[in-house]
Chain A
């Protein structure tokens, strides 16, 4: 059953869109990432114009994050206070990001800039997570009684001023690292057109020392608002949110996210992390290969004048 998308101005099979939303929603619920880094390239792939894909993808991320976060709230796995600190700094960061994005657009190299940031950030984070979670899995298989396990280690992060209690996470740390992390992620997410969950999750685990169970819910909580902000900005500035496309993606997405959350709970934290790492690495490699291999069609056509 084909359906005509009023903003994208193309006709696409409705079940393909439902399925796409479902798969991305599933992964998003399982790993606590918004799924923007998956949905946007997938929409490009089925021929949705890039501006519409970025804007509508953000809208779908709002829906799957909400459905995911509600499940996490019931499990008391959302650190609202940490989420708010990350959110406030995240919005500031993404405003700066939007400005830099416009600057790059004027220079005509925004495509390359986005692709390179995908490869660099997804690649680095994917590798770090993969390495760490592999070590964790090996450690759990070979129990080492001589090694004392501490709940979290004290680093420079714990010596900074402006300390705040984050009860759900069991942390008493300065708000400076989360605020900086939030701003950095907000900046990157505006440039890459994603919610930033795949960056936020490892930052929370490795830099802030939050327990993995709380990380998923808190990350989703923060992503809802960052994506809602992005959606609104795109709708107002470039009228590029396609409601028809969004509704189909969302329908598939919310169902997928519910199933994903339930599967995610049954997996061990290390397994979850290694799977997310592999997924992130796969996307980074795919985009990286596009840059390295000679494309079949060297030319591309886009409507409108070159800025």
Chain B
């Protein structure tokens, strides 16, 4: 009994390591990505109206390309995730009211996918699911089917609404890739940005399989006046309220005074 235990542990270790070994001996070792971002920080100031970030890089090779299957690049940018509630209106006693609702554990506040071609053609479905590359994969919705009937409809609605708001976008054919070596893509961050760390992932794909990945982070932060207002509101709420009322009193009185002087 005692002798078997280390053996079993060894066997388990071997089984666990097998896929990694299989992958390691494949193309991953021969081709890898080097990449950079035009900026790794976005400051939200008062006149912030969105930002364009250049993602660029190259494929590093120790040896000539292993085979003729075309090489592709996929870039994803993911905003800070948060829990969400999705509600559906139904007609109850003649009026439309919020009826059923579903809570999603975690959905990104922003998600953009850019690629060198249509995702369905360049990426295997299994690889997409494994790396959670396309949009639905980035939403974590565990156990929603118990919360409402037709639960998938709620997730579809979330994708639809966020796509319309420009929060979720899939832009295939927007990564330029020359000589199967150099790539670049401009990713547009919208004006309605939530504060937090934005995760940039770059995937190198050959024959539908991911051969290398790289991750970078863009820090999106409020700056200057925006930061000041936000901090005061959260750290000194009473002082903030007094300030808000003071602005109201001074402008209200000021306008009355100015108009009186003008005798308008």
Contacts and interface: CB of A to CB of B under 8 A. Distances in A.
Interface of A: 1-4, 6-7, 9-11, 59-60, 62-67, 70-71, 74, 108-109, 111-112, 228, 231-232, 235-236, 239, 241-244, 246-247, 250-251, 254-255, 257-258, 262, 290-295, 297-306
Interface residues of B, number: 64
27 contacts: A3-B46, A11-B192, A63-B247, A63-B251, A67-B256, A109-B98, A231-B248, A232-B238, A235-B240, A235-B244, A242-B229, A246-B248, A247-B247, A250-B248, A255-B255, A293-B96, A299-B153, A299-B158, A299-B161, A300-B86, A301-B84, A302-B84, A302-B87, A303-B82, A305-B83, A305-B85, A305-B103
B86 A235 contact: no
Given A71-B256, A241-B233, A59 B248 contact: yes
B42 to A, nearest CB: 12
A303 B103 CA distance: 10
A222 to B, nearest CB: 15
Interface string B82-125: 11111111110011111001010000000000000000000000
Contacts of A297: 157, 160-161
A224 B48 CA distance: 33
Interface of B: 44-50, 82-91, 94-98, 101, 103, 153-154, 157-158, 160-162, 191-195, 222, 225-227, 229-230, 233-234, 237-238, 240-245, 247-249, 251-256, 259-260, 264
A261 B191 CA distance: 37
Contacts of B251: 63, 67, 250-251, 254
B255 A298 contact: no
A71 B62 CA distance: 81
B245 A10 contact: no
B83 A303 contact: yes
Contacts of B46: 3-4, 244
Contacts of B87: 299-300, 302
Contacts of B225: 6, 244
A4 B48 contact: yes
A298 B96 CA distance: 9
Contact of A306 (B47, B48, B101, B259): B101
A10 B251 CA distance: 25
A291 B94 CA distance: 8
Contacts of A290: 96
8 closest A-B pairs (Cβ-Cβ)? A66-B252, A11-B191, A299-B157, A254-B255, A235-B241, A63-B248, A70-B256, A62-B248
Contacts of B230: 6-7
Contacts of B226: 4, 6, 244
B253 A70 contact: yes
A279 B253 CA distance: 27
A251 B241 CA distance: 18
Contacts of A257: 252, 255
B82 A292 contact: no
Nearest to B157: A299
B252 A294 contact: no
A258 B261 CA distance: 12
Given A65-B252, A243-B243, A262 B237 contact: no
Contacts of B160: 297, 299
Contacts of B96: 290-295
A235 B233 contact: yes
Contacts of B161: 297, 299-301
A232 B227 CA distance: 21
A306 B105 CA distance: 11
Contacts of A251: 251
Contact of B249 (A11, A62, A71): A62
A9 B192 contact: yes
A209 B84 CA distance: 51
Contacts of A109: 97-98
A66 B249 contact: yes
A232 B237 CA distance: 8
A243 B252 contact: no
B247 A250 contact: yes
Given A241-B241, A246-B247, A254-B255, A298 B49 contact: no
Given A243-B229, A299-B86, A67 B241 contact: no
Given A7-B230, A71-B256, A1 B47 contact: yes
Contact of B252 (A63, A235, A262, A295): A63
Contacts of B192: 9-11
A66 B238 CA distance: 21
Contact of B247 (A9, A10, A70, A243): A243
Given A235-B237, A254-B254, A300 B249 contact: no
Nearest to B95: A291
Contacts of B84: 301-304
B212 to A, nearest CB: 35
Contacts of B195: 9
